[in-house]
Chains A and B, each alone.
Chain A
Amino acid sequence: MNPMTDMTGAEIAAAVKAGKLTARRVTEAALARTESLNPYLNGFTAITSERALVKADAVDADIAAGRDPGPLAGVPFAVKNLFDVKGLPTLAGSKINRDLPPAVDDAALVKRMEAAGAVLTGALNMGEYAYDFTGQNAHDGASRNPHDPDHMSGGSSGGSGTATAAGMASITLGSDTNGSIRVPSSFCGLFGLKPTYGRLTRAGTFPFVSSLDHLGPIARSTADLSLAYDAMQGPDPDDPGCAGRPAEPTMAELAKGIGGLKIAKAGGYFTRGGMPEAFEAVDRIARAVGIEATLDIPDAQAARGAAYLITMAEGASLHLDRLRTRHADYDPDVRDRLIAGAMIPGAWVTKAQKLRRAYHDAVLKLFETVDVILAPATPCRAPRIGQQTMVLDGVEMAVRPNMGIFTQPISFIGLPVVSVPVWTEGEALPIGVQLIAAPWREDIVLRLAHHLEMAGVVSAPVANVQEM
């Protein structure tokens, strides 16, 4: 137990602004915890101590001068290493990118977080080129699950899960193409927000599948999700995929409760293919909000298949030249999937994109009758590190490509989701539930997540790992 690193970002910012803590003290505590735990948990690939202390001192100077340092004053945060951080090569989890020159500028979202007063403490481990659901990395080693370090953190934003759950950073940023924010949030017991596709700028980040790539925050409280999300919103001409919508702040919405919200559980596809705990977690949330209604998301299995094929093809396209010249330098699991992706027919991919529009239109109709849909985030709790296969509904399948069976049909059409962590007495590891809303309604899922947090139904405690 470390009082300062156990604090949420909102608590830190309030204490720093009130003069009860300095940003320097908070930053030093976060850096000390990171230096102590990281050799074991392996969440960080770079710790930016010097930069962090310079920023912390600037926050303290603002306060001393009577200036408002921003809503995230002194809050330690870290970013998946596919975000550009000035002075560091943007690894994207790879060996190959270590040959790149250091980034000459920060990613847009890093700048926006720092403009709100947050303090960057480093770059985080991830699955190679984001093609991963495990948090394992052939070059940097696995990022471990702080709640049971023999188990996966989840991927591909594995280090983001590790760092947040271990109290090394209050807030981390990740990317989510098919589930890479929601899977680590589920495995590590955290709140994760995958916003609407196009909401947050991706400028200054290494891509994976541009038509599916999202960025978003992971945190230990819904207020922290909201604070970070609000700080990062807004148009950006440097990302052609950014929708250009003006910021729609959510922080003031959280306390509005769930009165008037119509909520239903996803039926059909989302009620099979997982372990019982995945569905029990959904039922727990449903009972807490007093609903029994179930609604079928039509063609979810085909939608997941379409997301799978588009990912294979777009990912292969991104890496085709490197696969010719640097194939031996890839993580073998990633390389083989990318090469296979280069070999699938273009007609399949175009069909998948046609399915995508039809599926999008059908799912949006569902939101004429409900505001939030509940679905499992992962089919099971975190597997052990190194586990290759799992058995779901009696079918043995590979862990790495299949952990996203419930997340892929949702991000495929860009819907906003908060993953909330559910704990069962007697179990060391949590599991997540997706709260899903119509496009651009992040406010609704954040409200519901906050209501569940305040009611004690979901929570994201710092893992009980001892500093060395």
Chain B
Amino acid sequence: MSGEAFDVEKLIDAMAEFLDLPVESEYRPGIAGHLIVAHRIAQDVLAFETSDEAEPAPVYEP
């Protein structure tokens, strides 16, 4: 799915309600722009192959 193929306005509506975040109308263009960029950038990350056993970087020392 390309960065522009999803309905970013629907995403903002749903997530704002889910997170109980106030989203004023003047915030929406900026938020939408950042979500579209993040979606595009995420494709590089998601295409990176990792095994089922791959450990995330943060280390927790009990």
Given contacts A339-B21, A340-B38, A353-B57, contact A306 B31 (CB under 8 A): no
Question: Hey, which chain A residues are within 8 Å of B11, CB to CB?
Answer: 343
Assess the B55–A344 pair: CB atoms within 8 A: no
Give chain B's interface secondary structure class: helix
Collect the chain A residues with CB atoms within 8 Å of residue B1's CB.
none
The answer to whether B34 and A355 have CB atoms under 8 Å apart is no
A340 touches B34 (CB 8 A): yes
Q: Is the CB of B45 within 8 A of A306?
A: yes
Answer whether residue A332 sits at the interface, using C-beta atoms and an 8 A cutoff. Answer: yes
- Which residues on the B side are within 8 Å of A320 (C-beta)? 19, 21
* 21 A-B pairs (CB sep. < 8 Å): A211-B58, A305-B42, A305-B45, A320-B21, A324-B21, A327-B24, A328-B24, A336-B30, A336-B33, A336-B34, A337-B34, A340-B34, A341-B38, A343-B16, A343-B19, A343-B35, A351-B50, A354-B55, A357-B56, A357-B57, A401-B37
**Residues on B with beta carbons closer than 8 Å to the beta carbon of A339:** 21, 23, 27, 31
A354 to B53, CA, bound (A): 10
Question: Which chain B residues have a beta carbon within 8 Å of chain A's beta carbons?
Answer: 11-12, 15-16, 19-24, 26-27, 30-31, 33-35, 37-38, 41-42, 44-48, 50, 54-58
Check A353 against B58 for contact (C-beta < 8 Å). Answer: yes
Indicate if A144 sits at the interface (CB-CB under 8 A). no
Given contacts A342-B21, A343-B19, contact A358 B34 (CB under 8 A): no
Chain B min CB distance to A238 (Å): 17
Is the CB–CB distance between B50 and A354 below 8 Å? yes
Among B31, B35, B41, B45, point to the contact of A355 (Cβ < 8 A): B45
> Does residue A187 face the partner (Cβ distance < 8 Å to B)?
no
Most chain A beta-carbon neighbours within 10 Å: one of B11, B26, B48:
B48
A284-B19 Cα distance, complex, nearest whole Å: 50
B22 and A327 form a contact (CB under 8 A): yes
Contacts A340-B38, A348-B45, A353-B57 given; 20 further ones with Cβ under 8 A?
A: A302-B44, A305-B41, A305-B42, A305-B45, A309-B41, A324-B22, A328-B24, A332-B30, A333-B30, A335-B30, A336-B30, A337-B34, A339-B31, A343-B16, A348-B42, A350-B56, A353-B56, A354-B55, A354-B56, A357-B55
With a 10 A CB-CB cut-off, give which of B16, B22, B31, B47 has the most chain A CB atoms.
B31
Closest B residue to A308 using CB positions: B41
Q: Which residues of B contact A351 (CB under 8 A)?
A: 45-46, 48, 50
**Is A457 an interface residue when CB atoms closer than 8 A count as contact?**
no
Q: What is A's interface to B at a CB cutoff of 8 Å? A: 211, 299, 301-302, 304-306, 308-309, 312, 320, 323-324, 327-328, 332-333, 335-337, 339-344, 348, 350-358, 360, 401
Contact A309 B30 (CB under 8 A): no
Which residues of chain B are near A211, meaning CB under 8 Å? 57-58
Closest A residue to B54 using CB positions: A354
Bound CA–CA A324/B17 (angstroms)? 12
Q: Which of A309, A312, A333, A339 has the most CB of B within 10 A?
A: A339
Contact of A343 among B12, B20, B58 (CB under 8 A): B12
CB–CB B20/A324 < 8 A: yes
B10: min CB distance to chain A, Å: 12
Residue of B nearest to A412 (CB): B57
A335 to B31, CA, bound (A): 9
Q: Given the complex, which residues of A lie within 8 Å of B41, measured CB to CB?
A: 304-305, 308-309
- Least CB distance, B29 to chain A, in whole angstroms: 8
In Å, the complex CA distance between A14 and B57 comes to 44
Report chain A residues within 8 Å CB of B38: 308-309, 312, 340-341, 344
- For the complex, give the distance between the alpha carbons of A335 and B34 in Å: 11
> What's the minimum C-beta distance from B2 to chain A, rounded to whole angstroms?
15
Given known A302-B44, A302-B45, A351-B46, contact A340–B31 (CB-CB < 8 A)? yes
Closest beta carbon of chain B to A334's beta carbon, Å:
10
Question: Using Cβ atoms and an 8 Å threshold, which residues of chain A touch B46?
Answer: 348, 351
**Which 5 pairs of residues, A with B, have the shortest CB-CB distance?**
A336-B30, A353-B56, A340-B34, A356-B57, A343-B15
Cα distance A378–B30 in the bound complex, in angstroms: 24
**In chain B, what residue has the closest Cβ to A401?**
B37
Q: Would you give the shortest CB distance from B58 to chain A, in whole angstroms?
A: 6
